[in-house]
A = this chain, B = another copy of it.
Amino acid sequence: MKKYTEMNHDELLALKKELDKEFEEIKAQGLALDMSRGKPSNAQLDLSMEMMDVLKGDSNLKCETGVDCRNYGVIDGIPEAKRLLGEMSEVDPEHIIIYGNSSLNVMFDSIARSMTQGVMGNTPWCKLDKVKFLCPVPGYDRHFKITEFFGIEMINVPMTPEGPDMDMVEKLVSEDDAIKGIWCVPKYSNPQGYTYSKETVERFARLKPAAPDFRIYWDNAYSIHHLYDDNQDFLVEILGECVKAGNPDLVYKFTSTSKVSFPGSGIAAVAASKANLDDFRNYMQIQTIGHDKLNQLRHVRFFKDLEGLHAHMRKHADILRPKFELVLDTLDKELGGLGIGEWTKPHGGYFISFDSLDGCAKAIVAKAKEAGVVLTGAGATYPYGKDPKDSNIRIAPSFPTLEDLGKAAQVFVLCVKLVSVEKLLG
CA distance A70 to B261 in the complex (A): 9
Is A230 at the interface (CB under 8 A from chain B)?
A: no
A59 contacts across to B, CB distance below 8 A: 52
A72 contacts across to B, CB distance below 8 A: 37, 39, 263-264
Interface string of A264-284 (1 = CB under 8 A from B): 110000000000000000010
Is A342 at the interface (CB under 8 A from chain B)?
A: no
Interface string of A287-298 (1 = CB under 8 A from B): 111111111000
A52 contacts across to B, CB distance below 8 A: 55-57, 59, 61
Instruction: Output the residue of A59, A265, A286 with the most chain B CB within 10 A.
Output: A265
A288 contacts which of B48, B104, B295 (Cβ < 8 Å)? B104
Q: Is the CB of B68 within 8 A of A57?
A: no
Segment touching B, from A141-149, A385-393, A417-425: A141-149
CA distance A116 to B127 in the complex (A): 11
Is A167 at the interface (CB under 8 A from chain B)?
A: no
Q: Is the CB of B70 within 8 A of A265?
A: yes
CA distance A166 to B51 in the complex (A): 51
Supply 25 A–B pairs (Cβ within 8 Å), ascending by A: A37-B72, A45-B71, A48-B70, A49-B58, A50-B57, A52-B59, A52-B61, A53-B57, A69-B264, A70-B262, A71-B262, A101-B288, A104-B287, A104-B288, A108-B286, A108-B287, A112-B112, A115-B116, A126-B127, A145-B286, A264-B292, A264-B293, A265-B292, A265-B294, A295-B295
What would 10 more interface pairs be, CB under 8 Å, given A70-B264, A112-B112?
A49-B57, A52-B56, A73-B264, A108-B288, A116-B126, A146-B287, A262-B294, A265-B294, A265-B295, A292-B295
